[in-house]
Chain A
Amino acid sequence: MNTATKNFIDLYTREREVIQSNSSEIINGLRTDAMLNFKKLGLPSRKLEKYKYTDVQKYFEGDFLTNFDRKPINYEPSEVFKCEVPNLNTVQAFLLNDSFYPTIDKKELLPKGVTVGSLSQMADRFIEWFAKYYGKIANTREDALVALNTALVQDGVFIYIPKNTVVDVPIQLINILSGDQSTLVNRRLLIMAEENAQVNILMCNHAVSAVDFLQTGVTEIFAGENAHINFYEIEETHSRTHRFNSTFVHQAANSVVQVNTMTLMNGVSCNNTNFHLAGQGAHADCNGMTISDKEQHIDNITLIDHAVPHCTSHELFKYVLDDKAVGAFTGMILVRPDAQHTNSEQTNRSICLTKEARMYARPQLEIYADDVRCGHGATVGQLDEKALFYMQARGINRDEARLLLMFAFVNEVIDKINIDPLKEHLHQLVERRFRGELCNCAGSALNK
């Protein structure tokens, strides 16, 4: 057993009482099993196929400050931190490290019956419901990182949209990492949209202190029959943030779910996205985009599991890698026996701008049904010289022409967003990012 794994087992053994007494019963209920699985699996090494491109153990080494005794938050986050999308009204909830901030901005805009709140509080209130759904799709037997999160997590966000409810206003979750020294943060999200419900969720990740952060996260999304969920996640942290996130989506018949992960600024990110298409006629849309430079590291791992017939899925991931950035993409499309009439498409396109930038692409298909159409395409290359020349011939200087091309390249992912002001906002953020300017959405201290 490696030392990092051992340290975390020790941490759990030592802090167990504190962790449990500051969380809820349902969440506590899964800890023992999760820890057993974590012990069995150990933190993944690069020998494990799934984490071949990210040295997980390395990032889990070292001393981290924890907040297991839940210190109260003594300031108003919305006053010190602004994360507004221009021209867009959102219901804003804050997550400070792993604590849910109790005041929700513009809560009155939510339709009746919609719940947005602290995971542990809601777990105490809806015990039966939580027993049925919490931790049910985030499997701790297969992934040590999910197991570790399940064992250590105390709080997070819970979003519930009842039957036939359409939430017009996007729900914005603002995650802020802050601390005086290296900090460990364990977050958890549970999202449920019942039959015919519709919701847009925007999650913004920021880091405001110039210290190391290690963040584990698990998001569970349940889409009921004919439900529509759009889940947009933007990461704008800094080079000392190490993020290991797993998202699990369970889709009932005719539901449509989009998960769009956009990484603008980060240190090390490992985003694990799993779709389980469990009802006929479901559609999954899994997109991602990253703009990385310096020594950023981004690893997107996706699995789309077609378990029943007549489902469709669409995947698009784009990477722009500058300086010494490392990008990795693993995309598995699994079509189970009898999942006939599946239509699945996956695309991964990457641009390496420098000699030191590295890209690893692993698009994979595992197919056990014959009447299907599945395809994947992956390319790694550079900007089109002809296009650059064309623009230069028309008086656009080379730098500007390059920028335009890169901008157009990643825009394909941004354009999948169906909230116009957000799209516009991202266009601007991306442009600033390419120009090397400060992203002022964040106010993050470390953005260049």
Chain B
Amino acid sequence: MEEANKYVKEFTQEKYKFGFTTDVHTEVIEKGLNEDVVRLISAKKNEPEWLLEYRLGAFRHWLTLSIPTWAHLRIPEIDFQGISYYADPTAKKKDGEIDPELLKTFERLGIPLNEHNALAGFAVDAVMDSVSVKTTFKETLREKGIIFCSFSEAVQEHPELIKKYMGSVVGYKDNFFAALNSAVFSDGSFVYIPKGVRCPMELSTYFRINAINTGQFERTLIVAEDDSYVSYLEGCTAPMRDENQLHAAIVEIIVKNRAEVKYSTVQNWFPGDSEGKGGVFNFVTKRGICEGEGSKLSWTQVETGSAITWKYPSCILKGDNSTAEFYSVAVTNHHQQADTGTKMIHLGKNTSSTIISKGISAGKSENSYRGLVRITPNADNARNFSECDSLLIGDKCGAHTFPYMDVHNNTAVIEHEATTSKINEDQIFYCNQRGLDTEEAISLIVNGYAKEVLNKLPMEFAVEAQKLLAITLEGSVG
């Protein structure tokens, strides 16, 4: 117990511990967005003609769109011309060496890029601002035929794969932010697991925004061939700044016959200070397709950061007998706003999906679950179970649930339930009696409440996520 106490305290006493900045020479292009900027980014990455065309197509489409307003969010006006769309902290060194400052940064974040010191069983792609800094264990993975590299590298080395799969799940016409990302995306990760291979280690990408007045627009593409398996993790942080920073990413996952992909996110972008100043605007389009028969896709997310979160990791269950899961914990405190959830589109026969969402709101925050379960006419015997619970801490916050169920097939069985309640005072009292102060008690109860989801995370991440929950809720009582 003392041990637990110590660590809760340790983490509740500090605010946002990743709020430092790295003083490193960063090449930042001019602010603003136009066709020339798109061309410039493409040229900097030495991209083939077809990719530039794709970007330009996306940009022209983006111009016709306006920012979506349907979410339960108050989004302040975003000046898309006031942002720089490309920042490269590695630009100074030409000989392939990495600035020691950068290595130090990732070390401070607990992400050693030196393979000797690395956590056993983890391969990392570290992305700072617009550029992938380093990808570890590339060689080890290559022996198995696994491709794990930065997106830009993949464009150069495996253009046929990128051309085939990029935009196949999230096209640039999908939505406003997907179009924006498709026009100006800078880097990200690419994962390819060949047929029958079980990836021996956890793959992960660490995203870091460092430069001021920039946005981060990364793209992740995961392709799992027949009978393969991969577990992929994503983590993110940003420095504390008074200005809002924009993050608009796309994640696409293709799961083929009997393959399984597990995608876990611990999102901890800077949430803004307790007055609601600053913070990252997080607008992310994540979608996977269970293309093959018997395939499985599982999303797990722990959302603790960002001033605004707009994120709906979705699954298209196209293959017969495919399975999809969505486990989410979203915590909001102070002035944070989150509108998150999932879409489960059942196309194949005998498909099943599970949604478990736990929302926790504290302070003056707003936390919404928004989800869609659609059973199309051909999806015989589809099955869905959804459970969305909200926990309210304090009387100034809001917790909302907006589920949609569209059923076009009479063999479907769809269940949805949601409850909203206050944190149990009896439980707090019980903890108080045993010498835990109220804040510790809340942290303990919330962790218990979110356990169902946290258990789905890989072990190291689960520990991290538990600590994060405690930090996010710090200052939510009294």
Tell me, yes or no, whether B416 is within 8 Å of chain A by CB: yes
Q: Output the least CB separation between B135 and chain A (Å).
A: 43
B window 370-425: CB within 8 A of A: 377, 390, 392-423
Determine whether the beta carbon of A370 is less than 8 Å from that of B416. no
User: B50 — which chain A residues lie within 8 A by C-beta?
Assistant: none
A residues 365-379 near B (Cβ < 8 Å) are 365-379
A358 to B408, CA, bound (A): 5
Q: Which residues of B contact A371 (CB under 8 A)?
A: 395, 422
Inter-subunit contact B405/A353 (CB<8 Å): no
Question: Does A395 lie at the interface of the complex (its beta carbon under 8 Å from any beta carbon of B)?
Answer: no
- C-alpha spacing A1/B322, complex, angstroms: 45
Q: In the bound complex, do residue A378 and residue B404 qualify as a contact, i.e. CB atoms below 8 Å apart?
A: no
Q: Name A337's contact: one of B390, B396, B417 (CB within 8 Å).
A: B396
Within 8 A of B (CB), among A322-367: 337-338, 340, 350, 352-367
In the complex, per-residue mask of A17-39: 1 if CB is within 8 Å of any chain B CB, else 0: 00000000000000000000000
Contact of B418 among A363, A368, A380 (CB under 8 A): A363
Find chain A residues with CB under 8 A from B399 CB. Answer: 365, 367
Q: Does A428 contact B (CB under 8 A)?
A: no
Chain A minimum-CB-distance residue to B415: A379
Determine whether the beta carbon of A365 is less than 8 Å from that of B400. yes
Contacts of A49 in B (CB 8 A): 70
**B401 and A365 form a contact (CB under 8 A):** yes
Nearest Cβ in chain B — how far from A388, in angstroms? 15
B392 touches A375 (CB 8 A): no
Per DSSP, chain B at the interface is strand
The answer to whether A353 touches B410, judged by C-beta atoms less than 8 angstroms apart, is yes
Contact with B along A65-105 (1 / 0, CB 8 A): 00000000000000000000000000000000000000000
Cβ contact within 8 Å between B405 and A370? no
Q: Is A3 an interface residue (CB 8 A)?
A: no
Q: Per-position contact with B for A366-403: 1 when CB-CB < 8 Å, else 0? A: 11111111111111111000000000000000000000
B423 closest partner in A (C-beta)? A370
Cβ of A382 and Cβ of B402 under 8 Å apart? no
Contact status B421-A364, CB under 8 Å: no
Contact A367/B392 with A49-B70, A380-B405 known, Cβ cut-off 8 Å? yes
Which of A362, A376, A380 is most buried by chain B, counting CB atoms within 10 A of its CB?
A: A380
Given A49-B70, A365-B418, A371-B395, also A378-B405 (CB < 8 A):
yes
CB–CB B404/A372 < 8 A: no
Cross-interface CB contact of B419 among A354, A360, A375, cutoff 8 Å: A375
Whether A367 touches B420, Cβ cut-off 8 Å, given contacts A359-B405, A378-B405, is yes
Size class of the contact patch on chain A: 35 or more
Evaluate contact between A364 and B402: CB separation under 8 angstroms: yes
Interface residues of B in 411-467 (CB under 8 A from A): 411-423
Q: Does A352 contact B420, Cβ atoms closer than 8 Å?
A: no
Output the least CB separation between B43 and chain A (Å). Answer: 40
What residue in chain B is nearest A342 (Cβ atoms)?
B420
Give A212 to B395 CA distance when docked, in angstroms: 51
Bound-state CA distance A361–B411 (Å) is 16
Chain A binding site: helix, strand, loop or mixed by DSSP?
strand
Q: Is B411 in contact with A370, judged by CB distance below 8 angstroms?
A: no
Is the beta-carbon distance between B418 and A375 smaller than 8 angstroms?
yes
A379 CA / B418 CA spacing, docked (Å): 12
Instruction: With both chains docked as a complex, state the minimum distance between the C-beta of A402 and any C-beta of chain B, in angstroms.
Output: 13
Q: Which residues of B contact A363 (CB under 8 A)?
A: 401, 403, 416, 418
Whether the Cβ atoms of B414 and A381 lie closer than 8 Å is: yes
Chain B residues within 8 Å of A377, by CB? 415-418
Closest A residue to B425 by beta carbon equals: A371
Give the complex CA separation of A350 and B408 in angstroms.
Answer: 12
Q: Smallest CB-CB separation from A52: which chain B residue?
A: B404
Cβ contact of B395, chosen from A340, A361, A362, A381, cutoff 8 A: A340
- A366/B416 contact (C-beta < 8 A), A352-B407, A360-B407, A382-B410 known: no
Whether A361 pairs with B405 at a CB distance below 8 angstroms is yes
Query: Contacts A374-B419, A375-B420, A376-B418 hold; do A364 and B401 have CB atoms under 8 A apart?
Result: yes
Contact A382 B411 (CB under 8 A): yes
Alpha-carbon gap, A57 to B24, bound state (A): 59
The reply to whether B404 and A360 contact each other, CB–CB distance below 8 Å, is yes
Q: Which residues of B contact A337 (CB under 8 A)?
A: 395-396
A374, B420: Cβ atoms closer than 8 Å:
yes
Query: How far, in angstroms, from A352 to B382 measured CA to CA in the complex?
Result: 13
Judge whether A370 and B392 touch: CB under 8 Å: yes
Once the chains are docked, how many angstroms separate the CA of A361 from the CA of B402?
A: 10
- Bound Cα distance from A361 to B406, whole angstroms: 7
A375: chain B residues at CB < 8 Å are 417-420
Bound CA–CA A218/B160 (angstroms) = 62
Interface string of B285-319 (1 = CB under 8 A from A): 00000000000000000000000000000000000
**Are B410 and A357 in contact (CB-based, < 8 A)?**
yes
* Alpha-carbon gap, A377 to B415, bound state (A): 8
Kindly identify which residue among A350, A359, A362, A364 contacts B400, using a CB–CB cutoff of 8 Å. A364
Contacts of A367 in B (CB 8 A): 390, 392, 398-400, 420
Which residues does chain A contribute within 8 Å of B408, judged by CB atoms?
358
Please tell me if the beta carbons of A366 and B400 are within 8 angstroms of each other in the complex.
Answer: yes
- B393: chain A residues within 8 A (beta carbon): 370
Contact between A378 and B403 (Cβ–Cβ < 8 Å)? yes
CB-CB under 8 A from B415, the residues of chain A are: 377-379, 381
7 A-B pairs closest in CB distance: A370-B392, A352-B410, A361-B405, A375-B419, A365-B401, A380-B414, A377-B417
List 27 interface pairs A-B (beta carbons < 8 Å), by A numbering: A337-B395, A338-B395, A355-B377, A355-B410, A359-B407, A360-B404, A360-B407, A361-B416, A362-B402, A362-B404, A363-B403, A363-B418, A366-B72, A366-B398, A367-B420, A369-B395, A370-B393, A370-B394, A370-B397, A373-B421, A375-B418, A375-B419, A375-B420, A377-B415, A377-B418, A378-B414, A382-B413
